[in-house]
Chain A
């Protein structure tokens, strides 16, 4: 009798347990931590940023609602327009170079050679070193007076006069592009390498037996299979580069004469340097539609590639 009573109570779970067995509740419970984190660190700052951009807050002075006035103001701001152009140029050029060099490096690293693991680890160095630290090293290399690059070129007889790396507007932009490419190539290389390793060697062999040359094997076998990974890597990189801050802040501070200002550095100069928090937020938020569009287009493309 007693035994029956015990087994009966085991078979019938408590109301709390029963609720956990309901998948909807379980899913909700498991999602809560992520939702809270996303809400706290992504949604809340984003909403705050939107609200800030719609009022007239200055540092220490609570603002009033001004609608889209801040956006109108920045749209007519010549420095903002320069920053928009710079950001697109910077992102576009660096992405092309990072993809080309990263792919090339990934293909090389995908071969068998002695010390492969060591080389792969070293390749990651630029990506691992804190950006500010490595950028300072680059700043020294591009120093107007003591540039080691200039010194080397001069010693080799390639130049007779110093190259004004960070002082000339075009060269300053080229310099930050070089550093960004240097820092970003390892991310492309390692991610694409991971993608390459998922491609079965048998496909390559089959193509080779069919008489495909190396270039044809790459173009008709490797590249289509690597495309989904490539798109994701490019997507991440574009987002990061578009919103880049540290590199430009350390190298040029947006100068000379605003020639290297990006969205983020100009937003910082307005918001933090000048205390115009709302205008800074408006500049920052102006990035959003561009990024949103880029992300949507790329995600749609990735979906198309995957469902093909």
Chain B
């Protein structure tokens, strides 16, 4: 009986392995593990979308498609918008974490040293889709590199109850702060105030206070970065706000986060509020649940309007979201491939349509998309990205501006004033805080 020798078994096994995978020599030559042993993955961390259908679309449809098309497994993790920054910091400091992380506004500048340049992808997408809006470029690029890939702009418009405004004698939404205050005063007298947060929250508070300040001519800094907060214009804006708050607003707004105004509006305790379109979209989703006091569907009684004009013009500060590719990521190539795939017109269109206008794309082409004709209530949002202004105006939206935003200085200046601090003192306080930031 023949004995099988140990040496011959090894030889056979080695031969089989070499035949199946091109041999050890091939592995050594490429310096990579054989393909079957590697599952390329990309970990993407983003906010929990205010339009839940979009997250469902990504999870159930788009990401499995990406996996099939690219051979990359995408792990999508969603967290509350306020919790993104802690994750970025933890990732950067520990050198491990999600590969792609969503950034809000000019947070990109805070992490410029820790992210991969995405200029190539951003410029290609801009070129293919009618050009990138100046606003998206300013927030995501410092002129040398794209620190984040612009994803979408969550437009902030005033959602208001059409019938209640009409009852107060306004067939058109007031377009100046003066007329807005008059209208709101009448509405508050009827127990239907305006609702606006002045709390420590990332979206609606700065989305209101920054453009409000700019519309009066107030600015944090001049184009050269010199702090010019303590100006006649800023002071006027604060004084107006003190009376405006008392006359027209729900005073609970000082403690609101980004969801309180949605709940207040849907439960009919406020008549207007600055918001993304999530209130309206929610009423479309549940027409039987959200009805007016007359029993008609609330979605037929909601319209959107931009923030009113001030002496210096009309402004908007809309939440811009971008995806940063982290330097510590070991899957940078795969993440870039995924971003390219995600931003092809056909794929991005799926996300865009699922948002129903809640998110405005960062490239011009989408402005003429037929989605904006489907529902005239959503039409005002289509120019959000075109008209947006970045924090730090009239200086650049750099890391200093991002610091001012993260510390809620502008919002707190108004909050202090409406709580009773003299306007002059509130402005002086904000100026001193900004000087500390810009002189460091």
Contact = CB atoms under 8 A, between A and B. Distances in A.
B391 to A, nearest CB: 13
A191 B263 CA distance: 42
A61 B260 CA distance: 36
A144 B198 contact: no
Contacts of A144: 250, 252-256, 260
B92 interface: yes
Which secondary structure characterizes the binding site on chain A? loop
Given A77-B436, A271-B89, A256 B263 contact: no
Interface residues of A, number: 39
A257 B416 contact: yes
Interface in B68-98: 82, 85-86, 88-89, 92-93
Contact of A274 (B199, B253, B407): B407
Nearest to A252: B255
A271 B85 CA distance: 10
A257 B415 contact: yes
Given A164-B254, A172-B255, A256-B254, A145 B415 contact: no
A275 B198 CA distance: 23
Nearest to B251: A164
B57 to A, nearest CB: 29
B114 A272 contact: no
A145 B199 contact: no
Given A73-B436, A256-B199, A273-B85, A167 B110 contact: no
A169 interface: yes
Nearest to B88: A59
Which of A59, A77, A168, A253 has most chain B Cβ within 10 Å? A59
Contact of A277 (B85, B93, B260): B93
B407 A275 contact: no
Interface in B384-440: 402-403, 406-408, 412, 415-416, 419, 429, 432-433, 436, 440
A256 B419 contact: yes
Contacts of B252: 144-145, 162, 164, 166-167
B301 to A, nearest CB: 19
A50 interface: no
A50 to B, nearest CB: 17
Interface of A: 58-61, 73, 76-79, 142-146, 162, 164-169, 172, 252-259, 269-277
> Which 4 residue pairs are nearest across A and B when measured between Cβ atoms?
A144-B252, A166-B255, A60-B114, A167-B254
